[in-house]
Each structure stands twice: as C-alpha cells, then as structure tokens.
Amino acid sequence: MDFKKDFASILHEVLDGKLNQDKLTLMIEKPRFEEMGDLAFPCFELAKVFRKSPQSIAADIAAEIVSPLLEKVEAVSGYVNVFLSKHKVSSIVLKEVLTLKEHYGDLDLGKNQVITVDFSSPNIAKPFSMGHLRSTVIGNALALITEKYGYRSVRINHLGDWGTQFGKLIVAYKKWGKEETVKQQPIKELLKLYVTFHEEAEKDPSLNDEARGWFKKLEENDDEAMKLWEWFREESLKEFSKTYKLMGIEFDSFHGEAFYNDKMDQVVHLLENMNLLQESEGAQVVPLEGLAPCLIKKRDGTTLYATRDLAAALYRQDTYQFAQSLYIVGNEQSLHFKQLFAVLEKMGYQWVKGMAHVPFGMMLKDGKKMSTRKGKVVLLEEVLQDAISFALEDIKQKNPNLPSKEEVARQVGTGAIIFHDLKNFRQNDIEFSLEDMLKFEGETGPYVQYTHARASSLLRKGEFQENQAEVCISDAEAWPIIMNLTIFPQAIKRAFEENDPSQIAKYVIELARAFNKYYASVRILEDDGQKQERLSLVYSVKVVLKEGLRLLGLEAPEEM
C-alpha cells in the first residue's frame, strides 16, 4: 500500500490534471504532529497557478476529496490534511502481512532474469580488510534484495589471486617459509613472508629479479610454481571460508583473476580486430573520450587488472546472459569501472547498459584510511570473534538458561557488525569503532534482533493462534506500527532502486522503535477479548522484522 501515491492520484483528479502525479507525490508531506493527520498537501505553490489564496485552494480541494480509505479531510492554514481510516487501513495491511508472511513486499520485477553481483573479492595471501568487509555485507544484502524482486542473483567472488606478488611470495616461502606454520595460520604467515620479502629485497635487490622470474614461471604454468600458488590459494580460501561461514554468506563462483589468465589473448585479439587498440609508449591502450586511456597490455607484454575485468565481463555475459551486472567495490576504483564500461561500449555491446559500479566509502580509523601494510590492519575474523564473545557474555548474564547460546551469540555478534555497516548510506565513510559495533542498544542489529525475540516470546506466552481471517486494530497506540507496516514495500523498493540497503536498515529500526513503544504502553497479553488481535499485530511485526533483517543478511533468533 502506498498512500502517498493514492493521495497523489486523488489530487491529480481533483486538480483536473493540472499537476502530474509524480510532482504531486513529491509535494505531499508527512505532518510532524499527529493532530495534523497522516499526510498533508501544501497549497502555497498552487496560489500562483490558480490566482487564489492557499487557504481557499486548500478548502476547495478538501471539499472535493472522497475516498473510502479516508476518515477525515481538513483544510488548515493552506494545507490539506488527510486522516486515514485507521480501521480500514489496519485491516487491509494486517490481512496482507498475515497471508503473505515473509513474502510481503515481494515483487516479480526480475522474471527470473540474472543479476550478477561481484562482491567481497579479497586478495589472497593477504588479510581480509575492512574495505572487503564493506563490499561483503553490502553485496550480500543487494543480492538478497534483488532476489526479493524476482531476479536470479549470481554471487561472484572475483578473488585477487594473480599478479607479480605471487612471484615474491614463492621466493619468500622457498627461502624462509615452513609448511607447518603456513598450514596453522595461512594468512598471518603468508603476510609475514610477504613483509619479510620486502625488508630483505631492500638490502638485496636481486630478490626482485628472482620474484619476477617466478611469476613468469607461474604464467607459463611451471609445475612447481603452480603447485605452490595453488596451495597458497587453497589455504587462503579455507581461511576466508571460515569468515564467510560465520557471517552466513555464500557464493556461486570463486572465479578470480587467475581464472581469466587463458582468456586474455582472446580479448586482446578482439580489440585488435575491432581496431580499438593503439600503441602508446610501447604499451597497448584503448583511447577513450573524456577519460584516461584504458591500459590493456604493458610494454613487457603482461596484462592488467582491467584486461582481466574485460575478460570477466565477456565471460559472465556469455555464461549467465545477465540483465544486470553489479560491482560492489570501493569509491577509489571508480575510474577503473568507468574505463571498463567505456571500452565495452566501444566494442558495441548493448548489455553494458545493465552494468553498474556500486561504490562505497572508506572504513576509517581515527579519521584516517586503514592501511594494509606493516601489519597495521584490523583482522575481520578477530573482530567477528570479539563481537561473538561479547554477545555470549551478554547472553550468559541476561539469559543463562538459553539453549544453544553459542549459535545465538554467533547470530547476534555477526549481526552487530553487519548492521553497523549497513545502517549507513553506503557512500559515507564509516569510522571503525569496535565499541560502537558492540553496543547492543540504539540503532544496532542486536536491538532489532532483540525486539524480534521479544515479539516471538509474546506470541509463545499468549499462545497466538494463526489463521485469524479478519483482524483489525484501530487503537491509537497501534497506529504508528500499522503505518510502519504499510511502508515496508516502499523501503525495499528504494533499497532496490538505489542499491542502498540502509533504507531497509533504517526501516527496521523505526518499526522496532514503534513496537517497543507499543509494548511499553499496552498490556498485550491481557485477557480482554482483544488479545488474539493484538497478537496478530505482534506477529505481523515479527514477520516483517525478520524479513527485513534477512534482506540485510542478519538472522533473527527466536530467543536471546
């Protein structure tokens, strides 16, 4: 239900089509005070058009409006204030939620077309950075939201698993590495070897030549080089998988940069045949209008990140015939994606129109960018473990008899971290603060999860009976909840259209707040003949909170 839209269409008719509906929708306001109704239409702009005072225009409009959903229409100081019929609206929305349940808000826009979502994509043999955390949680939420809209999402982890750094790693491992230590703590150990390499290469630059030699061997599929690389990759993946598992995140493909190694010649040939390549200082580039040229091949003949992304785009279109293709990657790669899309457009591919870079801001520490170098990183897995232990302590104190404490602690701890990120508009920078992440009140994931658990407990205690055919709650206390329930589909729509999960995060916070207010002022479980109706409202809140959390990638425990 979208009352703004309904109201706009009524206004459109009353005004004889003088203003279009979109414009009217934008003009409609939500009054600040309850006494002023549920929606208000200001008539000041119309004064010029109609050559009448806003007051008399408002009065004229108010006199003409009739709608079964409205209880009352008033003209007050140049505004048309409308009051929705609490009775009708509540019975419509509750019926919708009670019958559709978690499918409330579904929309079959996608008709099973594919959207590829390229997200997370960490670099192997390196720690999973906070930037990758952002990509992981935003990408996961966007994949879930597109599925809600009837698309088939293909979740791709475009691993950074190729490049000269693997030559360095091989040299370092052969000189200073031990199989056992790498197996025990792959990422930490490989990072250490990498750092050692750089320290040693400063003293002895010939190490760099050695590293180049090993990367060349790798590109030529040398047995020993390949075996080591595969092993590094496998150990890194094992470690990343632990993190993904903690967060409940899955991928359809782990084809990273290395996968495209044997598919690059084809791309270069294609560009050649299309006459798009030009030589520039010995390198091969595609010149672009209004953008820096896209580098395809270096002077020494090796390919680049962009070449691999070109190959990946062609491969993905070929394999999945995607209707849309999203890349969830930080702001700092904006130029790269502009170039990528521009090259594909020059190649004449129509499907480039469905491609988009979904950028996001940085995770800052004390106002500065976090740096991966010199081990000065915050390790995601450690942050997750800290959050989980914190949640476990909290549960042990507040609910010592809870069964499966560990599992609930995992859901709540990871939920805290995911939500901390997603409640922000993705383009904003976020200050990393473990303390903030672990606050379990205010605008946090655990607060919403806790509200969901509270609703679940009420339903158990009150022995809620589903299958209530007609439910209607028209008391004033319930009204903010009802209004919130009606706008869930709009929050999803905005999140989908703007690739912005924070719309849903903000929504669930509002709904949770409205519910907790209701909980504090109404005796929900009182046996006064209305209990089952109130419980239907509680149930609707539970369903919508759970679905909202799910779309963000959070679980909703029944008890916590």
Backbone angles phi, psi at 254, to 5 degrees: -115, 25
| Nearest to 470, CA basis, from 85, 88, 103 | 88
Percent of the chain as helix, strand, coil, to the nearest 5: 60, 10, 30
CB of 189 to ligand ARG, least distance (A): 20
Site string for ligand ARG, 148-187 (x = CB under 6 A): ----------x-x---------------------------
325 binds ligand ARG (CB under 6 A): no
Q: Which is nearer to ligand ARG, 41 or 327 (CB)?
A: 327
SS3 category, 215: helix
CB of 306 to ligand ARG, least distance (A): 9
* Amino acid, res. 211: A
Q: Which is nearer to ligand ARG, 38 or 309 (CB)?
A: 309
309 binds ligand ARG (CB under 6 A): yes
Q: How far apart are CA 383 and CA 370, in angstroms?
A: 15
Site for ligand ARG in 46-65 (CB under 6 A): none
CA 468 from centre of chain: 35
Q: How far apart are CA 505 and CA 455, in angstroms?
A: 18
Q: Which is nearer to ligand ARG, 235 or 443 (CB)?
A: 235
Residues near ligand ARG (CB under 6 A), total: 9
Question: Pick from 151, 327, 419, 440: which binds ligand ARG (CB under 6 A)?
Answer: 327
Name residues whose C-beta falls within 8 Å of residue 334's C-beta, 6 or more positions apart in sequence: 357, 359
Diameter of the chain by CA atoms? 88
Stretch that binds ligand ARG, among 7-15, 81-89, 117-125, 382-390 (CB under 6 A): 117-125
Handedness of CA 273, 275, 281, 283 (dihedral sign): negative
Stretch that binds ligand ARG, among 32-40, 116-124, 285-293, 421-429 (CB under 6 A): 116-124
CB of 274 to ligand ARG, least distance (A): 22
CB of 124 to ligand ARG, least distance (A): 9
Backbone angles phi, psi at 15, to 5 degrees: -90, 15
Contact 278, 286 (CB under 8 A): yes
Name residues whose C-beta falls within 8 Å of residue 508's C-beta, 6 or more positions apart in sequence: 448, 545, 548, 549, 552
CB of 312 to ligand ARG, least distance (A): 6
CB of 505 to ligand ARG, least distance (A): 24
Q: How far apart are CA 57 and CA 78, in angstroms?
A: 7
Q: Which residue lies nearest ligand ARG, judged by its C-beta? A: 160
Cα distances from 464 to residues 217, 352, 387, 523, 545, in angstroms, run 67, 51, 34, 15, 18
CB of 161 to ligand ARG, least distance (A): 9
Written as six digits, the tokens of 301 are 């003949």
CB of 197 to ligand ARG, least distance (A): 20
Which residue bears the tokens 């609703």?
A: 455
329 binds ligand ARG (CB under 6 A): yes
Site string for ligand ARG, 526-555 (x = CB under 6 A): ------------------------------
Q: How far apart are CA 462 and CA 465, in angstroms?
A: 9
Q: How far apart are CA 292 and CA 286, in angstroms?
A: 9
CB of 294 to ligand ARG, least distance (A): 13
Which residue bears the tokens 């934008």?
A: 26
CB of 372 to ligand ARG, least distance (A): 10
Stretch that binds ligand ARG, among 2-10, 24-32, 118-126, 486-494 (CB under 6 A): 118-126
For residue 187, count other CB atoms closer than 10 A to its CB: 21
* Amino acid, res. 86: K
CB of 208 to ligand ARG, least distance (A): 23
Q: Which is nearer to ligand ARG, 121 or 303 (CB)?
A: 121
Backbone angles phi, psi at 553, to 5 degrees: 95, 20
What is the signed CA dihedral for 40, 41, 45, 46, rounded to 10 degrees? -150
CB of 129 to ligand ARG, least distance (A): 8
* Amino acid, res. 434: L
Q: Which is nearer to ligand ARG, 327 or 464 (CB)?
A: 327
Question: Pick from 38, 96, 118, 500: which binds ligand ARG (CB under 6 A)?
Answer: 118
Work out whether strand 283-288 and strand 278-280 pair parallel, antiparallel, or are unpaired: antiparallel
Q: Which is nearer to ligand ARG, 131 or 557 (CB)?
A: 131
Site for ligand ARG in 119-138 (CB under 6 A): 121, 123
| Nearest to 443, CA basis, from 372, 374, 502 | 502
Identify each DSSP E strand in 232-280 by its residue range: 278-280
Q: Which is nearer to ligand ARG, 31 or 163 (CB)?
A: 163
Written as six digits, the tokens of 353 are 């129109």
Stretch that binds ligand ARG, among 115-123, 177-185, 406-414, 421-429 (CB under 6 A): 115-123
Work out whether strand 283-288 and strand 79-84 pair parallel, antiparallel, or are unpaired: unpaired
CB of 305 to ligand ARG, least distance (A): 7
CB of 309 to ligand ARG, least distance (A): 5
Annotate 520-554 with b (16+ C-beta within 10 A) or e (fewer): eeeebeeeeeebebbbbbbbbbbbbbbbbbbbbbb
Interface residues with ligand ARG (CB under 6 A) are 118, 121, 123, 158, 160, 309, 312, 327, 329
